[in-house]
Structure formats: C-alpha cells, structure tokens
Structure 1
Amino acid sequence: MARVLNALGADEGLTRYVGGAVRDDLLGLKVSDVDLATKIRPEDVMTRLQTARIKAVPTGIDHGTITAVSDGHAVEITSLRRDVSTDGRRATVAFTDDWQEDAARRDFTINALSADPVTGELFDYFGGLEDLEARRVRFIGDPLARIAEDHLRILRFFRFHARFGSGEPDAAAVDACAARANDLMALSRERIADEILKLLGMADPAPTVGVMLQRGILKPVLPEIAPESLCDLEALLDSERSARVAPDPLRRLAALLPRDPALAEDIAARLRFSNKAKKRLSCAASTDLSSSPQALAYRVGSDCAIDRLLLAGQSADAAAIAGWKAPRLPIGGGELIARGLKEGPIVARTLRTIEDRWVADGFPAGEDFDRIVSDSLAGA
C-alpha cells in the first residue's frame, strides 16, 4: 500500500482513503477492501503506477477507475469525478479536483467519508460522522434525486440499514424508496438478486425486511412474497439460532416464498441464479419430511435437508445432521454379479432395493447389512 500511496502523491494531499474502508475502520470492523480516490487523472494514474513498477489494470478507466496490484494486494483507485448525466443504471462522468463534489455523488453520508493516509485527518462534508455515531443510514441530499441517479440504491439503502442502522430506518429515505419501488424493474435481475441475498445474509434481516414488505418495496420484482411471510422468516431465524446452524440467504429467501418447488425454481430462474442455487431453492421449498433426518440428507443432500428441517421448525433434527456425512452404499453391481446375479437391468433394480432398505434401517453395517443383501438377492 505504501508504494501505491507514494506513487500517487499521498504526501502532497493528492490521494485519500475513501468510502467503506474509512467507515468500517471508524466502526472497529475488519477492513477487507481499501479504495482510494485521487485528484490525478486516470491516464496519469496509469503512468505513475507503471513508473513505480506497480501493476496497473484499467478495470474501469472510462469512469476513472484503475486497479493497482502491489505486493499481492489489489487496490481500486478512482479519479475524483462528478456526474454529468444518469439514467438510473449508469452515469456519464466528468473529472474534477474538488473532493466535496466527488463525495456528493456517493449514496449515503456514512459512505462519503475520506481520510488523509499520511496525517489521518478525516473529511466529512455531509454529516457522516454524526450519522455513524447514531447508527443512522441517510441519503446525501434529496433521496428521490439519489434514487433517480441509481435505482439500485433502493435495495442498498435497506441492506445498509440492516448492517449499520439502529432502530427505525430514516423516514424520508423509506418514503422515497416506496415511491420509486417500480424503478427496480429497470435493473438487471442479477443486480437485484445480489442485493437481496446480501441483505438476507445479515445477522438479523427480519426488521428491515418487515419494513420493505409493509411498504411494498419488493412487490414490483418479487410479487410472490406476501407481507405475512415475515413470520416465516422470523421463525426460521429462531430455528437457525436454536440449531446453531450458520445463516444462509437462500434458505431465508425460501422462507419468504410459498412452499412450491416449481414456483421457487421459476423465481430462481427469473433472478438468474446459478443451476446449483436454483436447485437448492426449489429443494428447500418442498415440505416432504417423510423420512428420518439422516435418510432425508442422504436422498437430497445435507444442505437441502437442513433447509427443510429448519423451515419446518425442527431445529433439533437439523442440528443432528449439521455435521453428518452420508455413508456410501457398501456394495456395487459387480459384487452382486459375483454372488450369482445375472447381468442386466435386474442388477440396478436389486441395488435400489438394497439401498432403500439400508437407508430405511438407518445405514447398518456388518452382519445386518449382509442380511439385507441376502434377502434382496433371494427376492430378485
């Protein structure tokens, strides 16, 4: 980091720490990603880094962003800029040397803080420090105008409130988000899904989700989620805590949706989920708990079995299989043939019979398993 800061004139006041790194450091949280803002124009940033023999990647150079890779660490550097025009999804920018003008284009006051890397001096143009202390998430300026610039800020507001806020969310912000909720339909489903899953991954998203459902924030993009489904989410959170099972955003999304595997799969496809995530959401939506927890985990996988059990309020059963590894069927088709079974479809049928009994009997081994095999061969 020191090499990057030196190359970008931090000792001359040309470059600062900005955004989440400053916010998280002030809150005593672990800082994972460090972002820099600089008065230096993008092309000159590239030149300075290359002169210092630091790898420079023009990840978003048209919008002023360069990624520096130094000592194995990637640092995102963005030249100070102002918005010339926006359409709710992307912005046309012009570069500036005014720190406050650059800060003004950020979304929330707590994200507009910057710090001098040499002196540690903090710069707060919009009351971010006071909001941070009050655990309040607040738009910079007029919330309606900020949402018009970037519609995703609707979902970001609620995610940031769930993570950093305390008490009721800012009323003006909630009113603006509710008024502009239909704007979410203009966004890509991938961006919507990413924000929703990040929100649901928070320690306790229920109060925030409750406000969103009450004000109809999700209705334009997820009309299947009914306000009363908040009770199901709250019950799931209790089950997760009781079972001491790690939170999972897909499981929490399943709690908000009707228990309909086909519908869950359709929603997952609409949100452009991966095939793995689509299968899991659909599996979690099933209410089939007709077998033992271990048998269920063997048939549908541990993740899905835990999802179903927790969604059904069976936290003790979910805890019992949380660290359970499904055994492998201790026999194969070749051994059945060696024991006298003729080759052909009968081998697969007999294996299924053996497996079904083995699972139903609780995965026995030794003589008990041998009896299952012998009985199955006799009946083949």
Structure 2
Amino acid sequence: MLRDLTSAGWTQRAGLGQLAAALGADNIRWVGGAVRDGLLGLDVHDVDCATMLTPDAVIAACGRAGIRTVPTGIEHGTVTAILADGPIEVTTLRRDVATDGRRATIAFASDWCEDAARRDFTINALYAHPETLEISDYFGGRDDLAARRVRFIGRAEDRIAEDHLRILRYYRFQARFGAALDSEAEAACAALAHTLKGLSRERIAAELLALLALADPYPTLARMHAHGVLGVILPEAGADEVAALAALIAQEAAQGLAPDPIRRLAALLPASPQLAEVVAARLRLSKVQRGRLVSASARSAADADNPRALAYAMGVPPAQDRLLLLGADARALADWQPPVFPLKGGAIVAQGVSAGPAVARILKSIEARWVAEGFPPDERIAQILSEELAKI
C-alpha cells in the first residue's frame, strides 16, 4: 500500500518552501525519485524539481529571493538551487526533438504531460504539487508502483530506441522495485540488447555497478543472462559465473556483510587476474576499483587458511572479498584492524648483527612467524628474535 506524501520527511524541508515561494508554487512540481520513494516510505536524499519557467527565469527568480544558483546543466534546462538543507536541481519542462539511442536533442515545453511522456518508466513520471502534495499521474504510475511493476511509458521498443541505456535502467529498477514482471519490457530488452554496444563503457559500468549494489540482484542478472543482455555488456559472465554470484550473495547475507558491487563483479568473472585487468580497462573502472577487482580475481583456496594473515598482507576489504568468493568465513575480520609489526631493524642491529641484507632477512622471518602465530605480544617477539639470532 502506498503512503501519503504528507508523511514523507523530505516534504518538510524548509528550503523546499523557500524555493516554491521564489518560483511560484503553480510553476513547479517535485518529480521523480523523491515522489516515487516517498510514496513507498523509503528514505529520500535528493529532491528534483520540474518547472514551467525557463532557466533564465529560474535564475532571475532565485536571485530576487536570495537563493544562489549554479548552471549545472543549463544546456539541458537544469539549474541547481543552493538551499540551506541541500541543493535542488530545477529543470525546465522538456520534449524530445530528436534521439539517436545515445543522446537527445530537446526543446523546452510548457505542458506537464508532455514532459512526463519523455521519461522512461511510469513510476518515474509522478509529479507532486509543492503546496498540496497532490500527485499528477499521466500514465498509471501509482498503480504500477503499488503493484511493484516497472513499465515503460508507451511502447517499450520506442523508449529503448530513444536511449539504449534504458535497457539496463529497466533491469536495475526492476531489481529494486519490481515484483510482477512486465512481459513487453522483458521482450523488448532482449530483442534490443545488441544496441548496448553503441553506448560508452562508462555509462554501462555505472548502471551495472548500481545494479550489483542492490540487496539481491541475482534473479535479475539471471534473467539478463538468459535474455542475452548480460552477454553483450559482460561476455565473460557465463552460467557458472552467474551461479557464483548467487553463492556470494548468500554468503554476504549469512555473514552479515554489506553488498559490494566490485566484489560481485568479480564473482561474474572467471578467477583470472589477467582477465580482470581487461574488464576493468574496458569498463573504465577507477584505479581503486581495478585494484579490488584484480585482487579478488587472484583468489586461491589457500587464502582461507588464515584469514587475519591474509588481511594483514593485503588489507581487510580485499581479504573479505577473497574469503567470501571462496565461500569461506570472513567474520574473523569484522571490526578487526591489522596490527603494526612492532619490531624495527635497529633492535636487530643492537644484538650485534651488522646493518644490511642480513637484518632485512631476519626481520622478514620474524614477521612471518609473528603473523603465523596470530600476532602475539612483544614478549613472544623477543623470544622469536632470540631464536632467529641463534640460527646465525
């Protein structure tokens, strides 16, 4: 059952009233995710605003009210209003003039329904009046939201032809909000999966990682694989890898660990560091993300023998990645901070060993024993040092 927006905390933000007063309440509507998530009783962080005013008029009206603005996407009609309780993107009503599957040429519009018609899904085309919070719903979005159904506005094929990324957005929204499957949407995504090849790798990576970050994306990824969609964006992921994702998600849940999209991406790849490097480059992952992916892909059964030794060598998050992907217990690392090896080379020199390679070898041997013994206290390190010196 959908909630009343009056119970949504975000509607009480003082800045929203300030913005409505500046632009005129009848000239604006809250739109998109804030309205959708507010009706579902979910937390809302960002609020978007649609307006009949042109960007120049928005800037002028905000200026008169003492509200600073930033032209963050003015070529697309978007101005960001900087308010005390958070920024709000204010976008002029638009209609598509031309689309090619990757980008759209737009023109400003003055009709709310026309603006709604260019959006992707019915559940994203809900508008709320800033004062009354009355919902304007032109395409049955409230009913779809209540039924947990993700449905394209109009013909699914037409909407995907306008922006091919909507295939991945469909699966992500379906994984997050969907219960009942929309057969038309599923068929259209499968039929047009090949069009994803024309998109930038960055856009594909962003959508894929956003999907993998959800609580349980496995059923959706399994359908993407069955429909031939996953093979277009991640050909390395076969049936075995999709099954490995399901096993990883189960391990995360059983061990109380939060989802991690890079770890889950590693599950969708064969355990090959070289292959992980190729995929990371293709998806334009950041340096940190690439390092995590390659490390996770270098896992071996021996990693599970001493989890804390593994975490000491590479850090806790990468160690957790490997253990979870192996189906091993990573709970020994929960809230654990790897200790700092307390012995320095000077302590060995003080025992009469000449500074140089011999000191480094002894230090390395002592550290290895210290780690293998579970990081014992200083007294034991002193004993190990004596034992190592006796071997000289």
TM-score class, shorter-chain normalisation, is over 0.9
Partner Cα distance (1:3, 1:130) in 2: 31
SS in 2 for 1:17: strand
Partner Cα distance (2:263, 2:93) in 1: 40
Q: Does 1:311 align with 2:309?
A: no
Q: Does 1:18 align with 2:31?
A: yes
Q: CA deviation at 1:36?
A: 0.5
For residues 258-277 of structure 1, what are the structure 2 equivalents within 5 Å? 258-277=270-289
> Which 10-residue stretch deviates more, 57-66 or 303-312?
303-312
Aligned to 2:21: 6
Q: CA deviation at 1:162?
A: 0.5
1:100 maps to a residue whose letter is C
Q: CA deviation at 1:289?
A: 3.8
Aligned to 1:106: 119
Aligned to 1:298: 312
Aligned to 2:345: 333
1:364 maps to a residue whose letter is P
Q: CA deviation at 1:345?
A: 2.3
Aligned to 1:240: 252
Aligned to 1:32: 45
> Which 10-residue stretch deviates more, 190-199 or 74-83?
190-199
Q: 1:196-216 CA distances to partner (integer Å, 9 max, x unpaired)?
A: 111111111111111001011
Q: CA deviation at 1:101?
A: 0.3
SS in 2 for 1:254: helix
Q: CA deviation at 1:221?
A: 2.2
Aligned to 2:6: none
Q: 1:340-379 CA distances to partner (integer Å, 9 max, x unpaired)?
A: 2212222222221111111112211133211211222333
User: Of residues 355, 366, 370 in structure 2, which corresponds to 1:354?
Assistant: 366
> Which 10-residue stretch deviates more, 337-346 or 325-334?
337-346
User: Of residues 67, 72, 75 in structure 2, which corresponds to 1:62?
Assistant: 75
Partner Cα distance (1:122, 1:80) in 2: 17
Q: Does the 8 Å CA contact 1:289/1:308 hold for their aligned counterparts? A: no
Q: Does the 8 Å CA contact 2:221/2:230 hold for their aligned counterparts? A: no
Partner Cα distance (2:348, 2:20) in 1: 69
Aligned to 1:49: 62
2:318 maps to a residue whose letter is C
Aligned to 1:205: 217
Aligned to 1:285: 297
1:279 maps to a residue whose letter is G
User: Of residues 179, 185, 196 in structure 2, which corresponds to 1:173?
Assistant: 185
Q: Does the 8 Å CA contact 1:68/1:75 hold for their aligned counterparts? A: yes
For residues 152-167 of structure 1, what are the structure 2 equivalents within 5 Å? 152-167=165-180
Partner Cα distance (1:150, 1:234) in 2: 30
Q: 1:304-363 CA distances to partner (integer Å, 9 max, x unpaired)?
A: 11111111111xx30111221111111112222222221222222222111111111221
Partner Cα distance (1:119, 1:362) in 2: 63
SS in 2 for 1:73: coil
1:198 maps to a residue whose letter is A
Partner Cα distance (1:254, 1:37) in 2: 39
SS in 1 for 2:353: coil
Q: 1:224-254 CA distances to partner (integer Å, 9 max, x unpaired)?
A: 0002322211111111111111111111111
- Point out where structure 2 has 5 or more consecutive residues left out of the alignment: 1-15
Q: How many residues align?
A: 375
Q: 1:32-68 CA distances to partner (integer Å, 9 max, x unpaired)?
A: 1100100001111111111111011011111100000
- Point out where structure 1 has 5 or more consecutive residues left out of the alignment: none
Q: TM-score, normalised by structure 1?
A: 0.96
Partner Cα distance (2:306, 2:230) in 1: 36
Q: TM-score, normalised by structure 2?
A: 0.93
Partner Cα distance (2:360, 2:205) in 1: 41
Partner Cα distance (2:253, 2:49) in 1: 38
Identical residues among aligned pairs (%) = 55
